A = this chain, B = another copy of it.
Amino acid sequence: MEENITKSVSRTELSPLSFLQRSAFILPEKTAVIHGDRRYTYRQFEERVHRLARSLQQAGLVKNGKVAFLCPNTPAMLEAHFGVPLAGGVLVTVNTRLNKEEIRYILVHSDSCFLFVDSEFYSLVSDLGIQGLTVVRVDDSGLEGDPYEQFLAQSSPGLLPYNVDHEDSPISINYTSGTTGQPKGVIFTHRGTYLNALGEVIETGLSLRTVYLWTLPLFHCNGWCFSWAVSAVGGTHVCLRNINPELIWQIIRREGVTHFNGAPTLHTMLVNHSKAYRFEQPVAVTVAGAPPSPTLLEKLRSLNFSPIHVYGLTETYGPYTICTWHPEWNQLPLEEQARQRARQGQAYVTAELVRVVDAYMKDVPRDGKTIGEVVMRGNNVMQGYYKHPEATGEVFHGGWFHSGDLAVWHPDGYIELRDRLKDIIISGGENISTIEVEQTVVRHPAVLECAVVAIPDEKWGERPKAFVTLKKDAYASEEDILAFCKKHLAHFKCPATIEICELPKTATGKIQKYILREKEWAKRNKRIN
């Protein structure tokens, strides 16, 4: 008894819920959330979060029950990041780019008992017919008639306790496309998200003055934990339903945005827009998914963007490494600066140093040439895949998380990605499984076999290309096959192009994907983009 009291005096379970508690307490009148003309102060934000939590409890949510959200970056989506765990639940955010079947799989696999769905995506879920799933539509109006607002309104007011029983308990599950067709549910904990959020605050320089624009989808690793990080420092969230460069430029100017994040695709789109202008104060832009090109870097600089290059995976709560900028590099020629900046760097202050290892888990030489796999461990690695212990054991073998990304290790300890072990294509920041695309293509009645590889793409970084052999005496055009894909796959996963040909094979008949990739990536020194 005595010992327990002593322990509780000296210990708080780490949880990002404490961030909202504190900001709402010390900065109640500060603007927490902006969405068009709607504005919520931290006091209002907190009240809405507690209403969501209470209503969920009143509607039957049990401890560790799963609550799914299929929404763009709206106030409801931000409220979910605090309200669901406050109610003792686990948040399941669903990628809005998925198709009906994929959404159904995630809802069923995650055991979700609630689904909050933005009206834009309501048609996708109107006839799911999943037993025991309560569906609440979010009209994103903030007005009385909105079913989401009605859900909040039904709760009694008053605050729920913020404390959690154990920091290692789950806070969210983020589904990610792996190499096999079925997405896997990556479990984040209260402790992991707390530490990761502090890491984001420190590495990207968030503060009370931060006005953060939600260009990055909140369904991507809970917005890389910025959902919690921005709230930790009492910053302001600026919501954004979709990527519209003209609107983004307007909002940056109107709201005085200081930070936003995204894949290079986003930044390229923005800097080349006719409304682009140079800021007086630098705006920090965090780029992940693929390294920024020298051209993009120069453009960003000329507009007074401060680029920050980070790298990570859903399994690492979003960013894990950062290319920490050495002040003396500012003296280098721009091309050389871009080369430095294009490296993925090393671990965040809250993470353990990453290693690049060979097949025997030995460090590769730090020569900038030898390729090995990037492995991570520690507080910034997921707890595991939900209901998938074998898959967890596989990626955790040898006591480290295996990223599936291939990199060289430079003499200064920074890593630089070169290729991917896994059959994954990263297109505009989204994962696409080549295997899933192949399995779809071969379902076409005229197709005999198929191999899908990534090809470099100016706008999206990478896109899939399908090499197809037709059945004897069968016929289908490239357009036919593409139309078939569009019917059965989320659109962003469809091949950019289809080539009907003979597939290169080994003597034993195995398709030699690397030959196809070499052909497409000739003259490049990396096999990722």
Known: A22-B353, A352-B18, A353-B25. A396 touches B6 (CB 8 A): yes
Q: B205, A202: Cβ atoms under 8 Å?
A: no
Complex contact A202–B208 (CB within 8 A): no
- B209 near A381 with CB under 8 A, answer no
Which of A6, A28, A233, A393: most chain B Cβ within 10 A?
Answer: A6
Given A202-B201, A327-B208, A413-B25: A10 and B383 within 8 A (CB)? yes
- Measured CA separation A117–B294 after assembly (Å): 54
Q: Is A12 an interface residue (CB 8 A)?
A: yes
Task: Judge if A392 is at the interface, Cβ distance under 8 Å.
Answer: yes
**A501 interface residue (CB < 8 Å to B):** no
CB-based nearest B residue for A18 = B352
- Once A27-B326, A324-B26, A393-B2 are accepted as A-B contacts, the answer to whether A9 and B377 lie under 8 Å apart by CB is yes
| A32 sits at the interface (CB 8 A) | no
* A399 touching B202, Cβ below 8 Å: no
Tell me, rounded to whole Å, the shortest Cβ–Cβ distance linking A330 to chain B: 12
State A399–B3 Cα separation when bound (angstroms): 11
Q: How large is the interface on A (under 10, 10 to 19, 20 to 34, 35 or more residues)?
A: 35 or more
Interface members, chain A 383-411 (any B CB < 8 Å): 383-384, 392-393, 396, 399-401
Give the residues in chain B near A202, CB-CB below 8 Å: 198, 201-202, 233
Against B, the Cβ 8 Å flags (1 = close, 0 = not) of A167-186 are 00000000000000000000
**Proximity bits, A294-337, B CB within 8 Å = 1, else 0:** 00000000000000000000000000000011110000000000
**What would 10 A/B residue contacts be, using CB atoms closer than 8 Å?**
A10-B192, A10-B377, A14-B379, A22-B347, A25-B413, A26-B412, A26-B413, A26-B414, A30-B326, A233-B349
Q: State the A residues within 8 Å of B (CB).
A: 2, 5-6, 8-12, 14, 18-19, 21-22, 25-28, 30, 189, 192, 198, 201-202, 205, 207-209, 232-234, 324-327, 345-347, 349-350, 352-353, 377-379, 381-384, 392-393, 396, 399-401, 412-414
